[in-house]
Amino acid sequence: MTLLGISHKTDRQLQLDVLAEIARDFRFRPAEIGVEVDDGIVTLTGTVSSYVKLGQAAELAAGVYGVKDVANKLTVESASKLDDTKIAQAIRDALRWDVDVPEERIDSIVRDGVVTLKGTVDHWGERMAARDAVAKITGVRYVNDHLVVSPAPPRGDQQIFDDIKAALRRRSPVDDIDVAVDRGAVTLMGKVLWYGLRQRAEQAAWSTPGVRSVVNKILVGA
């Protein structure tokens, strides 16, 4: 399998490309994030102003062609530490106001700005919406997502398999990804050229109705 017009990148080229992607994003300050690359594996270091930016930086790095994996060592600065009770109140309000979140089925625990979410949702999109709503709250330093996806009504494994394979064909020009489904638990296998395709495949699986969990065993490399 070859991808025309794209040559192998050195670690230095990858470092410059990741830095350029972060620098052109208005959400980040100059020199806010350090980037190291070793054999295609990117390590992000530094301190960012919010938990949301921690994830956004990793997504930018993962989207650069040639990146095999991302080690996210960013930390969130503790500028104005809020009382955990106030953070918990803000979390409840945020979940209640978000129409995509079944807030009555979600519990939160806050300790020193670290939030743990527990409960059951019907779909991966609801899980992501809840996590994103909480991550944006001032004072939140980290989110432990223990939400369980339990779709109702359940779907058959063959139907889930067919939907995922169709989604993969729409999102990627390659067909080197294998899918196994066992009672809603999905395992992805195979090999892709860059880390962004690995992420895209996982997102396609998670966004399929009926999926309870996803294990991503896709390898990255030529």
Residues of the chain above pLDDT 70, percent:
93
Asked which of 29-33, 174-178, 201-205 is least confident by mean pLDDT, the reply is 174-178
Q: What tokens does 189 get?
A: 């296998």
**Average of pLDDT values for 147-153?**
83
Q: What is the mean pLDDT of the chain?
A: 87
pLDDT of residue 125: 87
Decide which of 20 and 170 is more confident: 20
Query: Does 1 score more than 80 pLDDT?
Result: no
pLDDT of residue 145: 93
Asked which of 1-5, 123-127, 129-133 is least confident by mean pLDDT, the reply is 1-5
Query: Does 70 score more than 50 pLDDT?
Result: yes
**What is the DSSP pairing of strand 177-182 with strand 185-192?**
antiparallel
In the chain, DSSP assigns E strands to: 33-38, 41-48, 69-72, 75-76, 106-111, 114-121, 142-149, 177-182, 185-192, 213-216, 219-220
Query: Does 82 score more than 80 pLDDT?
Result: no
Q: How far is CA 75 from CA 85, 137, 161, 168, in A?
A: 23, 16, 38, 33
pLDDT of residue 199: 87
Q: What tokens does 188 get?
A: 């992805």
Decide which of 169 and 81 is more confident: 169
Query: Does 29 score more than 50 pLDDT?
Result: yes
Q: Is the pTM of this model over 0.75?
A: no
